Amino acid sequence: MALKHSILALGIMCAAPFAAQASEVPFDQFLHQAAAQEAVSINYDDWSYVLRTTVFEGGRSDRTHAAPPAPGIGRRIVKGNTSSTRFEGNRLYFPAFKGQNLVTLKHIRAELEAMPGAVPLVEWTKNQQLAYWLNLYNIKLVELLAEHYPEQELRSLLYGGGSRSGLLDQPALKVAGVRLSLNNIHHDIILANWQDPLVMYELFHGFVGSANIRSEAYRADTVWDQLRENAVEFINSNRGARMDGDILRVAEIYRENLELFPGGPDELKAHIVSLADADYAPRFAAARTVVASTRDYYIADLFQGYERDLNPNAGNSAAIVEALTGSSNADVAEWMSATMDRQYFSAAPGHVMEYLGKVRERNEAREGNVNVEEYEGSEKTEAPVPE
């Protein structure tokens, strides 16, 4: 089953003829210039289709912490993510991005990449520009991670170390003649153009401890609602913000976005309080200090980088599809049913079934409005947010 693809679905429709491909131009061509009204019509149907069929929606956190995983029957080694936040957030079905499907994903990304060369961004509204940069960033990151799959711990891969640069710093894109890295898009374009903390929640970093990837593309007419939904989900999860005594522990991802909080820790805390659920907002507001120490750099892959489980005691992976069918993730179930091979159906990774089971339990408990204390205990590493 190949990814649905239509060149027209990512096209730009406008009255003016397409402009010639731009030569090397100053980087600031992407800053502070926009049309007051929409003169072009843009849609991202192909990218939305990919997301709808590969993103599993995990639902809102219930603030419980996952207990340390057991190796399982017939095993001495624990497979997969061991973090206490491993049951939170959405997941991508990364095994889908292989062979021709990866080629198709690259083709869709190339079309997005070429858009400003056809119609300059100055002719787009600010909301159209924001939706464009968020979609381009996310599809390129998914492409890069698919090429490195089944890499599991993403911190070194994304951020590098020593003299080695990470994927986020590599000039992997060319937009309107300008070479761009994902960090260029993040810091030099998005944060430079939109000084609103909400924009940080739509940049998918590929790991559990970052904001969710959505099951739909961003659109100019809904982008700020989408941003707020992601922000609320993240802040009201343990991977985003939680109390530890009188310390407000927040995700390390906030360190990458400190320029959005020029007022320092107090402004960051006020932002988190403004979007926190009523049960937690007063506690967050009363926190003595803010510490960026919550982390989970494990890949946000439904299979956690393990496509098969060779343990003879593992379950039947047809149960994965059955667990998804009839839910909001029915499109993912249909895709998986059509793409899993016979060998894969012989054994289901236990951690996949555990995650799906926890999501189902959480959704059922939410119907009864069950509140759970989220305190986990102090951590060894203290990393206060800079003043």
Q: What b-and-e string marks burial along 149-169, b requiring 16 or more CB atoms within 10 Å of the CB?
A: bebbebbebbbeeeeeebbbe
Is the pLDDT at 133 greater than 90? The verdict is yes
The rounded distance, in Å, linking the Cα atoms of 144 and 165 is 14
- Beta-carbon neighbour count of residue 321 at 10 Å? 18
- Tell me the pLDDT band of 381, cut-offs 50, 70 and 90: very low
Task: Report, as an integer, the average pLDDT of 138-146.
Answer: 98
| Residue 367 pLDDT > 60 | yes
Instruction: Please state which of the ranges 177-186, 252-261, 354-363 shows the lowest mean pLDDT.
Output: 354-363
Residue 308, pLDDT score: 62
pLDDT at 383 over 60: no
Omega before 150 within 30 of 0, i.e. cis? yes
Give me the pLDDT at residue 294, please: 84
Least confident piece of the model among 212-226, 293-307, 354-368, 371-385 = 371-385
* CB neighbours of residue 384 within 10 Å: 12
Predicted TM-score of the model (pTM): 0.83
The answer to whether 68 and 294 have CB atoms below 8 angstroms apart is: no
Mean pLDDT computed over 214-236: 97
Q: Look at 27-36, 160-169, 257-266, 376-385 and tell me which has the smallest mean pLDDT.
A: 376-385
DSSP 236-277: TSTTTEEEETTEEEEEGGGGGGGGG-TTTHHHHHHHHHHHS-
What is the rounded distance in angstroms from the CA atom of residue 9 to the CA atom of residue 42? 9
Across the range 338-366, mean pLDDT stands at 68
Q: What is the pLDDT of residue 91?
A: 94
pLDDT in tens, 84-129: 899 999 999 999 999 999 999 999 999 999 999 999 999 999 999 9
pLDDT at 160 exceeding the cut of 80: yes
Q: Distance (Å, rounded) from C-alpha 68 to C-alpha 170?
A: 36
Binned at pLDDT 50, 70 and 90, residue 82 comes out as: confident
Backbone angles phi, psi at 243, to 5 degrees: -95, 140
Find all residues with CB under 8 Å of 26, minimum gap 6, and list them.
Answer: none
Q: Which of 324-328, 349-353, 376-380 has the highest mean pLDDT?
A: 349-353
At residue 374 the predicted structure's pLDDT band, cuts being 50, 70 and 90, is very low
304-349 pLDDT per residue, tens: 887 665 454 455 555 555 555 555 666 665 656 555 554 344 456 7
Least confident of 14-23, 239-248, 376-385: 14-23
> How far is Cα 312 from Cα 144, in angstroms, rounded to an integer?
33
